[in-house]
Amino acid sequence: MLLTPDSSDLTLVTMPVAEIATDLLLLPVFDGESLDDIPGLDERAGGHISAAMTSGEFQARPFEVYLTPLTGWKSARVGLVGAGQRTEFTTERLRRVATAAALAARQRRVTRIAWLVRGDLPPAAAVQASVEGLGLASFSIDRYKSGERGGPPVAEIIIAMPGVASPDLTPAFERGRVLADSCNVARELCNEPPNVLTPRELGERAAAVGRDAGFTVEILDEKELEQRGMGLLLGVGQGSAQPPRMIVLKHTPKGKAASPHVLGLIGKGVTFDTGGISIKPADGMERMKTDMSGAAAVIGAMRAIALLDAPMQVIGVIPAAENMPGGRAIKPADVLTGAGGKTVEVINTDAEGRLILGDGLWYAKELGATHLVDVATLTGAIVIALGRVASGLFGQPSPWVDTVKRSAEVAGDRCWSMPLYDEYADQLKSEIADMINSGGRPAGACTAAMFLKEFAGGLPWAHIDIAGTAWAEESKPWQPKGPTGVAVRTLAELAFTSQSWNPGPQSGSKQ
């Protein structure tokens, strides 16, 4: 069982750049600059750097890479990585440029690299973003290949900040390392085939990550779900030979908790989604193995939260099921009853994620969460609205949604706020139950979020729809085709911001 994916041996140094012994020295380069701040570099490169810049062979466009040998330094070669305009250089640009650099080295099967931190960002922020970016390049999508595979992860990475001495650098370095590895844990889970990663196996993987990272895990089986009346989760899972699970992860900070708030993270864990009786088209159905990306994000975030010892209690709740057709599967027109007593008329069995999240949100409240965030590959409608470059963000009240959005911006996960107008609830009215589970095509992402709002119980709540961002459909210099690990860093960042939260209403008793 894989607890931590392939990762590199990372080291932080402040020695002069000429003294760094490595196979390839990599550094970000900005448009129009001369690299005069690195004395002797062009000379040791035989003048090739200045010649490439003058001729336009290297123009410092974002993610462009230029390599040339070095003599007289302990690095064998130097690689210039385009970073674009210096005035546009942010932590997110740095993170992506660092990933692109490490992936370029990996494609060339370079085993040792050094990354020179440059730019005008605060040193600690620059170190963290660099380590995150370099660490993300360690993920491999081809684990199941028995033949030719891509280049192995770089074995040794040195992060260099010559002459910079600050006590903040080491914590920033460690935080970046943990966040990168935790994102890669989520990506590994998303990449697993559905015959391997069943709801039961997802619970076992979460428990193994918890033992490794130091958070507790409880797994409710189908009998315990029935005892708690979780009819929405049970209904979705009843068509499969693989029984559903409710996976509960808990982090308690060492010593006395510094925050009165309890953060509840709820992740959609549909380990495979056929659509059920409302079956999906065959074309592209294989991608439905990633319908548990929200669950993977919660597991990855809880790993980071525990290892970095966030100063507040955090509860992760993952309703996990397979959505399959079969003689016992739920049918359109069935009525299900959730654990909180709400009844739902099933109009479309392919709108199953909101059903299991309903029981998940309810259970997080029962366990004592005061603030809620759910993450789910919920709707194709959000892909139509935002494409694959941003996740949809919904919630209540506005200050809480703004808090989540700020955490996403810091973490480098793009989110765009979407509306929750009261009129959307009209599309969810049922003649025979409290509501229906699908409001149809118009405003599909908004009505799905409105459905979830009914289970938040008035608590501060945010919903992140990652249907368009959980999987990269095409390769970019900083992101190979495959799972992205979206929302892991956002959820982890949120657990360190509780001092700025407005107090929320208290939920039910803790268990």
Q: Hey, what are 396's tokens? A: 């209540």
Active-site residue among 112, 354, 453, 489? 354
89-104 as b/e: b if 16+ CB within 10 A: bebbbbbbbbbbbbbb
Q: How does DSSP classify residue 350?
A: T
Concatenate the DSSP letters of all residues of 432-483 into one string: SSSEES---STTHHHHHHHHHHTTSTTS-EEEEE-TTTSEESS-BTTB-SEE
- Determine how many CB atoms are found less than 10 A away from the CB of residue 151: 15
Q: Please give the Cα distance from 263 to 18 (Å, whole number).
A: 47
C-alpha distances out from residue 347 to 262, 320, 359, 450, 452, Å:
34, 21, 18, 16, 16
Task: Show the tokens assigned to 83.
Answer: 């970073």
Q: What angle do CA 178, 504, 320 make, to 5 degrees?
A: 55
Please name which of 347, 318, 359 lies closest in space to residue 230, comparing C-alpha atoms. 359
Structure tokens at 110: 């370079």
By CB neighbour count within 10 A (0-12 exposed, 13-18 middle, 19+ buried), where does 204 fall? Answer: middle
Establish whether 481 is a catalytic residue. no
335-337 sheet: strands from edge to edge? 335-337, 343-345, 435-436
Distance, in Å, from the CA atom of 424 to the CA atom of 439, rounded to the nearest integer, reads 8
R_g (Cα) of the chain, nearest Å: 24
**Are 418 and 509 a contacting pair, CB within 8 Å?**
no
DSSP-derived pairing of the beta strands 371-376 and 343-345: unpaired
Nearest to 286 by CA among 273, 276, 298: 273
Short-list 337, 365, 80, CA closest to 248: 365
What φ, ψ does residue 354 adopt, rounded to 5°? -65, -30
Sequential DSSP letters for 279-314: PPPSTTGGGGGGTTHHHHHHHHHHHHHHHTT-SSEE
Half-sphere CA count of 386, side-chain side, radius 13 A = 24
- The catalytic residue among 280, 287, 388, 406 is 280
Write b or e for each residue in 234-254: b if 16 or more Cβ atoms lie within 10 A of its Cβ, otherwise e.
bbbbbbbebbbbbbbbbbbbe
Look up 429 and say whether it is catalytic: no
Instruction: From residue 400, give the alpha-carbon distance in Å to each of 134, 304, 396, 494.
Output: 32, 22, 7, 11
Catalytically annotated residues: 280, 354
